Amino acid sequence: MSSLTRLETKDEFIWLDRFDPRARILAAIMIALVVIFLSGITTLVAGFVAALFLVLSIGFDYQTLIKRLLAFEGFVLLLIGFLPFTVSGDSLFVVFGWTASEQGVDRAVVIFLRSNIIVLSMLSLLGTLEPEELGHGMSRLGVPQKFAHLFLMTARYLDVLLDEYQRLRLAMKARAFHARTDLHTWRSYGWLIGMLLVRSMERSQRVVKAMKCRGFQGQFYLLDDRVWRAGDSLAMGCLALVLLFLCLVEFL
């Protein structure tokens, strides 16, 4: 079981894999930047439909996709549930004495569309990259080396840590532990987390030792032979045109 990994798709190879990871990262950033400035319903709906098409074109394994989306949509639903009642303006309808405003509903729809366009495009463009490709791409885009390596190490050791957590958890279960609402439960969870911290620290010390044994002197290296192709530039150009068109519709 692993958590930080490429989203499952029906085919191993998707059409986006033809492009350099850098292009995919840049595309995701461009889309996000443009979309947060859009507020017209027409452009947002157009963007949302486009994002849906992008998701469909990839052939996700829908179970994992929906699982990932739920974590985010729960938060959005909460937000759009409350917004109509908390933004003041012209009354639209009344629920249990609470008045929903037209402006509030408007705001909620805009936020729903905006956030979903961004999340769906991020999941499609970045979620389908292996964390390793994403790290390499970021580093070649000029993200500080420290950050890139921190990200790559996290991706590398998250599974190891998760394994350790599951082993501890299993050992607790094997001794008939189940969560109750009492002090014993809280204390046991405390120990579990404490143990994980201690083990992670010990592991990090061992990793440093192993690195020193191979002559580590503070310098990390990335080897990556992806080349930026004409196709990448072309795709970036097309995306820029589409985004520009959306902006024109919105602001003219």
Partner 1 sequence: MTQAPLIKLDKVSFGYLNRNVFENVNLELHRGERLALLGGNGAGKSTLLQLIVGLNKRSSGGIYAFGKDRSEERDFIEVRTKAGMVFQDSDDQLFCPSVLEDVAFGPLNLGMTKQEAIDRSLQTLESLGLSELANRITHKLSGGQKRLVALATVLAMKPEVLLLDEPTNGLDDSAELRLIELLESLDQAMILVSHDQKLIERLATRAVILTDGTLVEAVLHKHPHHHEHSHVHIHAKGSEQHHAHDPELEVHNDL
Contacting positions for partner 1 (CB under 8 A): 130-132, 135-136, 152-153, 155-157, 159-160, 203, 206-207, 209-217, 219, 221-223
Residue 8 or 132 having the CB closest to partner 1: 132
Give the number of other CB atoms < 10 A from CB of residue 126.
Answer: 21
As measured in angstroms, the least distance from the Cβ of 150 to partner 1 is 12
Residue 216 or 251 having the CB closest to partner 1: 216
Residue 22 or 114 having the CB closest to partner 1: 22
User: How far apart are the C-alpha atoms of 179 and 177, rounded to whole Å?
Assistant: 7
As measured in angstroms, the least distance from the Cβ of 155 to partner 1 is 7
Residue 181 or 217 having the CB closest to partner 1: 217
Give the number of other CB atoms < 10 A from CB of residue 104.
Answer: 22
As measured in angstroms, the least distance from the Cβ of 173 to partner 1 is 23
As measured in angstroms, the least distance from the Cβ of 165 to partner 1 is 14
Residue 97 or 215 having the CB closest to partner 1: 215
As measured in angstroms, the least distance from the Cβ of 136 to partner 1 is 7
As measured in angstroms, the least distance from the Cβ of 21 to partner 1 is 12
- Return the HEC string of the chain: CCCCCCCCECCCCCHHHHCCHHHHHHHHHHHHHHHCCCCCHHHHHHHHHHHHHHHHHHCECHHHHHHHHHHHHHHHHHHHHHHHHHCCCCEEEEECCEEEEHHHHHHHHHHHHHHHHHHHHHHHHCCCCCHHHHHHHHHHCCCCHHHHHHHHHHHHHHHHHHHHHHHHHHHHHHCCCCCCCCHHHHHHHHHHHHHHHHHHHHHHHHHHHHHHHCCCCCCCCCCCCCCCCHHHHHHHHHHHHHHHHHHHHHHC
Residue 56 or 160 having the CB closest to partner 1: 160
